[in-house]
C-alpha cells in the first residue's frame, strides 16, 4: 500500500510575468520510505513541499494521503488529519515563534491533537526531548537560548509529537554545520526505523540525500525529470539536471 | 524590569525619562504646586521675570502668573498629547489588523481610506475638524487623532502581511492550530512592538499639534495651554519676549524628552533582541 500518491500537480504564481513553480508533478511514497527530492534552486522543491502539506493550494492535480482525498479536506477535519503529516523547516530560528519556549513549542501539538491528557503533557515533553537527545531541563528555556542544531532537534521533536506517518523536511539540515548535520541525519534514520515514519526529504545537496534517501526524485523547472533508487541516480544520472547535481557534490581527492 | 535597566543605560533613555518624569510630576501635582485658577488675574500686568518673588517668571498682559500657566499648561499638553496618541494608535491598530487579516475587498476599502487621510496633512485636518465642531478638549484630542492614525494603520497592516508569511505561522498551521488562535497567539504579539515603537513620535507630534491649535486660538478656551500662552505673548513680543519664550522652552523640552525616551526605548528593545 502506498502512503502518499500525488498526480499532475500544477502551481503557477501570478507574480510578475507568471512563474510555473509546479508543472505536472506526480510522485508516490510508501510507509517508512524516504524519498529524496533534489533539484537546483528555483526548481520548485519548496513549492511541492508546501502543496503537499496544504500550506499552498495547487491549481490542478490530486493528492491521496493515508487513503483519503487530501485536497478535499478543509477546516476542522483537515486540522485533525494534519497530525499525520508534519513538516520541518530550513530556517531553524524562523520556524519558531520568537516568544516560544522549548516547552510551549512542544506542548502546542500535544494540546491541539490531545495526544496525551493535560496532566501528562510535561512528562511527554520531557520524553520527546529525551528522544531527540536533549536534556529535559531544556524545556524551560526560550527557543532563542538553544543552538541551531539543538533547535532543529526540537523541530523534529515537535514533528514526531503527533505520531505522524509522513514528515516533509524542506532543507532541514542545510543551515547546519557538517558535524551537527550528520548527527541530525542519524537521528532521523533511527526515528524512521523505530516508528516507520516516511520522509519526503528536500535538499539541493545529493551528499545529504545519499545518507538518508531510499529513492531520489530530481526536479527541474517544476517537473520531476528523473526518479530512481539513490545509488543508481548518484552513480548513473540520466538527466542533465541530475548530472549537474552529482557534479556539484565536492569530492575529497587525495593525491 | 530588564528593559527599564537597559533603558536607563542608554543616554537618550535616561535623559528623556528624567525630563518626562519631571514634567509628569509637575502635571500631576499642578494644583498643589500652584493652587487656584491659573487664568485668574494675580498681580500687576507685565511683571518682568526674576523681579518679584511672588511671580518668579513674571506676569502677562492681564497680570496672570506665567509660572502658574506653565505648570497647568503641562497638564493640558501631556494629557491631550497622550490621549490623542492613544486614540490614534488604537484606531490605527484596529484598521490595520482588520485590513491585514481580512484582505480582499475590505483591505482595499480600508487602505483607500487610509490613503485619503494620509494625503491630507494631519494639521489641516485637525484645524478643519475643530473649526467645524468647536474647541473643547475632547474635540481637540479627536481632531489630532484623526490626523495621526493613518501611519500606525499602514504599519500594522504591513506587519501583519509580513508576519503571517513567517515559517512559524506555517508551522502553527501544520500543527493544526485554529486560525483564530494563530492570529491571536502567533501573529498579534509579533505585530505590536514595531507599531508601539511609533508611539513616541505620535505623542511628540500630538503635543506640537495641540500647541499649534491653541496658538491659532482653536484650543479649549477654558484651560491654559502653552500654545495659547505663546499666542498671548506674541502681542507684546518686542517688549516682553519672555511671555513667549518660557512656554516655548517648555514645549521644546517636552517634545525632546518624548523623542529621547522613544529613541532610548527603541534601542533598549532592539538591544535585547540582538543580545538574545
Ligand atoms: N510565493 C511566491 N510567489 C511567487 N513566486 C514564487 C513564490 N514562491 C515560489 N515562487 C517561485 O516559484 C519557483 C519555485 O520556487 P521554490 O521555492 O519552490 O524553489 P526551490 O526549488 O525550493 O528553490 P530553493 O532551492 O532556492 O529553495 C521560483 O521561480 C520562485 O521564484
Ligand atoms: Mg526551497
Chain segment B219-264, per-residue pLDDT in tens: 888 889 999 999 988 888 888 888 999 999 999 999 999 999 988 8
Sign, CA torsion A189/A190/A194/A195: negative
Q: Which residue shows C-alpha cell 522549548?
A: A102
Position B276 confidence tier, pLDDT thresholds 50, 70, 90? very low
| ipTM of the shown complex | 0.91
Position B103 confidence tier, pLDDT thresholds 50, 70, 90? confident
Test site for ligand 1: of A10, A20, A37, A43, most ligand atoms within 8 A of the Cβ: A43
Q: What is the pLDDT of residue A253?
A: 52
Ligand nearest to the CA of A170: 2
Q: What is the pLDDT of residue B275?
A: 43
Residue A241 has pLDDT above 70, yes or no: yes
Give tens-digit pLDDT for A28-82. Answer: 999 999 999 999 999 999 999 999 999 999 999 999 999 999 999 999 999 999 9
Q: What is the pLDDT of residue B1?
A: 67
CA distance B219 to chain A (A): 44
Rounded mean pLDDT, B133-141: 91
Is-contact B47 B37, C-beta < 8 A? no
Q: What is the mean pLDDT of chain A?
A: 92
**Nearest by CB to A55, which of B168, B173, B186?**
B173
A224: three-class secondary structure by DSSP = strand
Q: What is the mean pLDDT of chain B?
A: 89
Can you give the length of chain B in residues?
Answer: 276
Going along chain B from its start, the domains and CATH numbers come out as 2-45+64-275 (1.10.3720.10)
Phi, psi of A68 (to 5 degrees): -120, 155
Q: What is the pLDDT of residue A160?
A: 95
Tell me the C-alpha to C-alpha distance, in Å, between residue B235 and each of A162, B41, B46, B242: 77, 18, 12, 12
Q: What is the pLDDT of residue B34?
A: 85
Position B272 confidence tier, pLDDT thresholds 50, 70, 90? low
Residue A222 has pLDDT above 70, yes or no: yes
Q: Which residue of B has its CA nearest to A164?
A: B175
Give tens-digit pLDDT for A120-147. Answer: 999 999 999 999 999 999 999 999 889 9
Looking at per-residue confidence, does B44 or B117 come out higher?
B117
Position B9 confidence tier, pLDDT thresholds 50, 70, 90? confident
Residue B143 has pLDDT above 90, yes or no: yes
* Alpha helix stretches (DSSP H) within B66-215: 66-102, 104-119, 122-133, 137-148, 150-163, 167-174, 179-181, 188-197, 199-215
Tell me the C-alpha to C-alpha distance, in Å, between residue B108 and each of A88, B96, B105, B123, B165: 35, 11, 5, 25, 20
Q: Which residue shows C-alpha cell 512592538?
A: B193
- Percent of all residues in chain B with a pLDDT value above 70, rounded to a whole number: 97
Is-contact A116 A110, C-beta < 8 A? yes
Test site for ligand 1: of A47, A58, A174, most ligand atoms within 8 A of the Cβ: A47
- Round to whole Å and give the CA distance between A208 and A248: 12
Pairing of strands A198-202, A166-170: parallel
Strand ranges (E), A30-142: 34-39, 60-65, 68-69, 85-88
Rounded mean pLDDT, B71-79: 91
Is-contact B73 B33, C-beta < 8 A? no
- What are the cell numbers at B173? 498551521
Instruction: Determine the distance separating the centroid of ligand 2 and the alpha carbon of A166, expressed in angstroms.
Output: 19
Residue A111 has pLDDT above 90, yes or no: yes
Q: Which residues of A touch B (CB under 8 A)?
A: 50, 53-55, 79-80, 82-83, 85-87, 89, 91, 94-100, 108-109, 112-113, 142, 144-145, 155, 158, 162
Is-contact B84 B206, C-beta < 8 A? yes
b/e code A151-160 from CB counts within 10 Å (16+ = b) = bbbbbbbbbb
- What are the cell numbers at A75? 477546516
* Interface test with chain B among A76, A97, A169, by most B beta carbons within 10 Å: A97
Superfamily of domain A4-96+164-247: P-loop containing nucleotide triphosphate hydrolases (3.40.50.300)
Give tens-digit pLDDT for B10-59. Answer: 888 899 999 999 999 999 998 888 888 888 888 888 888 888 888 888 88
Q: What is the pLDDT of residue B274?
A: 45
- Round to whole Å and give the CA distance between B214 and B143: 13
- Round to whole Å and give the CA distance between B88 and B141: 9
Closest CA to A172 of A59, A95, A90, A57: A90
Chain A residues near residue B170 by CB distance under 8 angstroms: 50, 55, 87, 89, 95
Instruction: Determine the distance separating the centroid of ligand 2 and the alpha carbon of A46, expressed in angstroms.
Output: 4
- Round to whole Å and give the CA distance between A184 and A133: 10
- Percent of all residues in chain B with a pLDDT value above 90, rounded to a whole number: 54
- Round to whole Å and give the CA distance between B61 and B82: 31
Residue A114 has pLDDT above 60, yes or no: yes
- What are the cell numbers at B197? 515603537
- Percent of all residues in chain A with a pLDDT value above 70, rounded to a whole number: 98
Domain ranges of chain A: 4-96+164-247
Position B271 confidence tier, pLDDT thresholds 50, 70, 90? low
Amino acid at each position: 500500500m502506498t502512503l502518499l500518491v500525488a498526480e499532475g500537480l500544477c502551481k503557477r504564481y501570478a507574480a510578475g510575468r507568471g512563474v510555473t513553480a509546479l508543472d505536472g508533478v506526480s510522485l508516490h511514497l510508501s510507509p517508512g520510505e524516504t524519498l529524496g527530492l533534489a533539484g537546483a534552486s528555483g526548481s520548485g522543491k519548496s513549492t511541492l513541499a508546501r502543496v503537499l502539506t496544504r500550506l499552498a493550494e495547487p491549481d490542478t492535480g490530486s493528492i491521496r494521503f493515508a487513503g483519503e482525498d487530501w485536497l478535499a479536506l478543509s477546516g476542522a477535519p483537515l486540522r485533525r488529519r494534519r497530525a499525520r503529516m508534519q513538516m520541518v523547516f530550513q530556517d531553524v530560528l524562523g520556524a519558531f515563534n520568537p516568544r516560544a519556549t522549548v516547552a510551549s513549542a512542544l506542548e502546542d501539538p500535544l494540546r491541539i491533537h490531545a495526544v496525551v491528557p493535560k496532566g501528562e503533557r510535561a512528562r511527554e515533553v520531557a520524553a520527546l526531548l529525551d528522544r531527540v537527545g536533549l536534556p529535559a531541563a531544556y524545556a524551560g528555556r526560550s527557543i532563542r537560548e538553544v543552538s541551531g542544531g539543538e533547535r532543529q532537534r526540537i523541530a523534529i521533536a515537535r514533528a514526531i509529537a503527533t505520531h505522524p506517518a509522513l514528515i516533509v523536511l524542506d532543507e532541514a539540515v542545510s543551515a547546519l554545520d557538517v558535524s551537527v548535520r550528520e548527527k541530525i541525519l542519524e537521528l532521523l534514520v533511527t526515528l524512521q526505523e523505530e516508528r516507520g515514519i516516511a520522509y519526503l526529504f528536500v535538499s539541493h545537496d545529493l551528499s545529504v540525500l545519499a545518507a538518508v534517501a531510499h529513492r531520489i526524485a530530481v526536479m527541474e523547472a517544476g517537473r520531476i525529470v528523473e526518479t530512481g533508487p539513490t545509488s543508481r541516480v548518484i552513480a548513473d544520472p540520466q538527466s542533465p539536471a541530475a548530472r549537474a547535481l552529482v557534479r556539484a557534490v565536492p569530492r575529497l581527492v587525495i593525491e | 524590569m530588564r528593559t527599564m535597566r537597559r533603558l536607563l543605560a542608554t543616554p537618550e533613555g535616561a535623559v528623556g525619562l528624567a525630563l518626562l518624569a519631571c514634567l509628569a510630576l509637575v502635571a500631576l501635582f499642578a494644583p498643589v504646586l500652584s493652587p487656584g485658577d491659573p487664568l485668574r488675574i494675580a498681580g500687576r500686568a507685565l511683571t518682568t521675570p526674576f523681579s518679584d518673588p511672588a511671580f518668579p517668571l513674571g506676569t502677562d498682559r492681564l497680570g496672570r502668573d506665567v509660572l502658574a500657566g506653565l505648570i497647568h499648561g503641562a497638564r493640558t499638553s501631556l494629557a491631550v498629547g497622550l490621549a490623542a496618541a492613544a486614540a490614534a494608535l488604537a484606531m490605527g491598530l484596529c484598521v490595520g489588523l482588520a485590513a491585514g487579516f481580512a484582505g480582499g475587498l475590505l483591505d482595499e476599502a480600508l487602505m483607500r481610506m487610509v490613503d485619503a487621510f494620509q494625503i491630507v496633512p494631519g494639521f489641516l485636518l485637525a484645524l478643519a475638524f475643530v473649526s467645524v465642531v468647536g474647541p473643547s478638549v475632547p474635540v481637540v484630542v479627536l481632531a489630532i487623532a484623526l490626523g495621526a492614525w493613518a501611519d500606525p494603520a499602514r504599519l500594522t497592516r504591513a506587519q501583519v502581511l509580513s508576519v503571517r508569511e513567517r515559517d512559524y505561522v506555517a508551522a502553527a498551521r501544520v500543527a493544526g492550530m485554529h486560525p483564530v488562535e494563530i492570529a491571536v497567539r502567533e501573529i498579534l504579539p509579533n505585530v505590536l512592538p514595531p507599531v508601539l515603537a511609533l508611539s513616541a513620535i505620535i505623542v511628540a507630534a500630538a503635543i506640537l499639534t495641540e500647541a499649534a491649535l491653541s496658538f491659532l486660538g482653536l484650543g479649549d478656551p477654558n484651560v491654559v495651554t502653552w500654545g495659547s500662552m505663546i499666542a498671548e505673548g506674541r502681542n507684546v513680543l518686542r517688549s516682553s519676549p519672555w511671555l513667549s519664550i518660557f512656554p516655548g522652552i517648555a514645549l521644546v523640552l517636552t517634545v525632546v524628552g518624548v523623542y529621547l525616551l522613544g529613541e532610548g526605548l527603541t534601542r533598549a528593545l532592539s538591544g535585547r533582541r540582538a543580545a538574545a
